[in-house]
Amino acid sequence: MKSNKMVDFDNLQEKIAYRFRDLQLLTQALTHRSFLHENNDGGEDNERLEFLGDSVVEVVISHLLLNRFPHLTEGGLSKTRAELVKESTLASLAREVRLGAALRLGRGEDETGGRDKNSILAGGLEALMAAVYLDGGYKEAFRVIEDLYAPRLSEMKGAIEDKDYKTRLQEYTQRHLNDTPHYIVTDEEGPDHAKTFEVIISIGGKAYGKGKGKSKKEAEQRAAEEALRSLQEN
């Protein structure tokens, strides 16, 4: 019969859709230093793997962002990556795969809620990704990390692309037309709690795009999208 910890290990491997060939790597990735302080089993804690995992996650996320957001500037890419690799995001991902249940913690750390501490969960996830990388190579690490982040990347894609139309339009017009777009509200309908706005974009005195929305910001974004498409097509 398997021990409870081995069952937790099996569940975690199922959650990340990766089966380790070297279980010692998985064990190390899930061993917090507090465990070794109380149990001298000759093993190693996960801090060195955490160091490597930090870089593995960053390079995979950088690769994914370059592929998925081709129009995002370097500054935008950096800001988005920082949001995706920050401690709270990593801890949230760790909770989704129930990593906390598989951690090897000292009794004191366990009794004070260590299995749900952001710092321990985030470090454990980074160590786990390093272990996948060492056990299966970059291709497998890329697949596992991409699957983990897929819902977040999908959520961000629409928001980033929508938010970025005005920036992209301004960069385009400054580079190609030596001018900047002007947003003009041409219509405003409905009661205060349910208004609809219409905005046109003027560049060099010529109208290039029109958009409608439930706020001026939304109408501007839609107008910018239409203007950018028109300019690029012509």
pLDDT digits (tens, 9 = 90+) for 9-65: 999 999 999 999 999 999 999 999 999 998 877 789 999 999 999 999 999 999 999
Q: What percent of the chain has pLDDT over 90?
A: 66
Angle subtended by helix axes 138-176 and 4-16, to nearest 10: 40
Residue 109 is among the residues annotated as catalytic for this protein: no
Locate 149 and state its tokens: 């982040």
Catalytic residue among 8, 45, 50, 54: 54
pLDDT level of residue 1 (50, 70, 90 thresholds)? very low
Asked whether the predicted pLDDT for residue 146 surpasses 90, the reply is yes
Asked whether the predicted pLDDT for residue 149 surpasses 80, the reply is yes
DSSP H helical segments within the chain, as ranges?
A: 4-16, 23-29, 33-38, 47-68, 74-85, 87-96, 99-102, 107-111, 118-136, 138-176, 216-233
Catalytic residue among 8, 50, 126, 225: 126
pLDDT digits (tens, 9 = 90+) for 72-92: 778 778 989 999 999 999 999
pLDDT for the residue numbered 71: 67
Select from 144, 119, 120 the least CA-distant residue to 132: 144
Annotate 154-174 with b (16+ C-beta within 10 A) or e (fewer). Answer: eebeeebbeebbbebbeebbe
Residue 126 is among the residues annotated as catalytic for this protein: yes
pTM of the model: 0.71
The Cα 168–Cα 182 span in angstroms is 14
